[in-house]
Amino acid sequence: MIEKVLIANRGEIALRIHRACHEMGIKTVAVHSTADVDAMHVRLADETVCIGPAASVDSYLNIPAIISAAEITGADAIHPGYGFLSENAHFADIVAEHGISFIGPTGDHIRQMGDKITAKRTVKELGIPVVPGSEGGITDDETARKVCEEIGYPVIIKASAGGGGRGMQIVKNADDLSVQLSTCRREAKVSFGDDAVYIEKFLTTPRHIEFQIIGDSHGNCIHLGERDCSLQRRHQKVLEEAPSPVIDEETRERMGGIVAKAMADFGYCGAGTIEFLYENGEFYFIEMNTRVQVEHPVTEMITGIDIVREQIRVAAGEELSYTQDMVRFFGHAIECRINAEHPFNFMPSPGTVTQYHPPGGLNVRCDSAVYTGYKIPPHYDSMVAKLIVSGYTREGCLLRLRRSLNEFVIEGVTTTIPLHQALMENEDFLAGDYDIHWLEKFLAEKNA
Answer yes or no: 291 catalytic. yes
Angle between helices 307-315 and 296-303 (to 10 degrees): 100
CB of residue 116 to ligand ADP, shortest distance in Å? 7
Contacts with ligand ADP in 424-443 (CB under 6 A)?
436
CB of residue 154 to ligand ADP, shortest distance in Å? 8
In the bound state with ligand ADP, the residue whose beta carbon lies nearer, of 233 and 379, is: 233
Of the residues 87, 226, 287, 341, which one makes contact with ligand ADP according to CB under 6 A: 287
In the bound state with ligand ADP, the residue whose beta carbon lies nearer, of 7 and 203, is: 203
Beta strand 355-357 pairing with 409-411: antiparallel
Of the residues 69, 94, 100, 131, which one makes contact with ligand ADP according to CB under 6 A: 131
In the bound state with ligand ADP, the residue whose beta carbon lies nearer, of 165 and 373, is: 165
- Beta-strand ranges (E) seen in 130-220 are 155-159, 168-171, 197-201, 207-215
In the bound state with ligand ADP, the residue whose beta carbon lies nearer, of 14 and 161, is: 161
> Of the residues 291, 313, 365, 394, which is catalytic?
291
Distances (CA, A) of 371 to 39, 45, 380, 407, 411: 9, 16, 17, 16, 11
In the bound state with ligand ADP, the residue whose beta carbon lies nearer, of 76 and 200, is: 200
CB of residue 83 to ligand ADP, shortest distance in Å? 13
DSSP for 248-293 reads -HHHHHHHHHHHHHHHHHHT--EEEEEEEEEETTEEEEEEEE-S--
Of the residues 74, 165, 219, 317, which one makes contact with ligand ADP according to CB under 6 A: 165
Return d(Cα 319, Cα 260) in angstroms, integer. 15
Q: Which stretch binds ligand ADP (CB under 6 A): 141-149, 163-171, 260-268, 406-414?
A: 163-171
CB of residue 23 to ligand ADP, shortest distance in Å? 32
Which stretch of DSSP H or E encloses residue 15? helix 11-23
Task: Note whether 7 and 28 are within 8 A (CB).
Answer: yes
Return d(Cα 389, Cα 399) in angstroms, integer. 10
Of the residues 163, 245, 267, 351, which one makes contact with ligand ADP according to CB under 6 A: 163
In the bound state with ligand ADP, the residue whose beta carbon lies nearer, of 146 and 166, is: 166
Residue 150 sits at the vertex; the CA angle it makes with 166 and 255, to the nearest 5 degrees, is 65
CA count, 13 A, side-chain hemisphere, 278: 23
In the bound state with ligand ADP, the residue whose beta carbon lies nearer, of 60 and 202, is: 202
Task: Note whether 92 and 255 are within 8 A (CB).
Answer: no
Of the residues 25, 99, 164, 281, which one makes contact with ligand ADP according to CB under 6 A: 164
Which stretch of DSSP H or E encloses residue 78? strand 77-79
Return d(Cα 270, Cα 216) in angstroms, integer. 6
CB of residue 237 to ligand ADP, shortest distance in Å? 8
In 3D space, the residue among 339, 327, 331, 324 whose CA is nearest the CA of residue 302 turns out to be 331
Contacts with ligand ADP in 199-258 (CB under 6 A)?
200-203, 206, 208, 232, 235
User: Binding residues for ligand ADP, how many (CB under 6 A)?
Assistant: 20
Of the residues 196, 239, 269, 286, which one makes contact with ligand ADP according to CB under 6 A: 286
Task: Note whether 380 and 11 are within 8 A (CB).
Answer: yes
Contacts with ligand ADP in 172-201 (CB under 6 A)?
200-201
CB-based burial label for 322 (10 Å; 0-12, 13-18, 19+): middle
Task: Note whether 209 and 226 are within 8 A (CB).
Answer: yes
Q: Which stretch binds ligand ADP (CB under 6 A): 26-34, 72-80, 161-169, 397-405?
A: 161-169
In the bound state with ligand ADP, the residue whose beta carbon lies nearer, of 411 and 428, is: 428
In 3D space, the residue among 167, 156, 160 whose CA is nearest the CA of residue 119 turns out to be 160
DSSP for 89-107 reads HHHHHHHHHTT-EESSS-H
| Residues 6+ away with beta carbon under 8 Å from 65 | 31, 51, 52, 59
82 binds ligand ADP (CB under 6 A): no
In the bound state with ligand ADP, the residue whose beta carbon lies nearer, of 283 and 374, is: 283
Of the residues 156, 246, 264, 422, which one makes contact with ligand ADP according to CB under 6 A: 156
DSSP count for the chain of H helices, then E strands: 15, 20
CB of residue 229 to ligand ADP, shortest distance in Å? 8
Give the active site residues. 291
Enumerate binding residues for ligand ADP (CB under 6 A). 131, 156, 162-166, 200-203, 206, 208, 232, 235, 275, 277, 286-287, 436
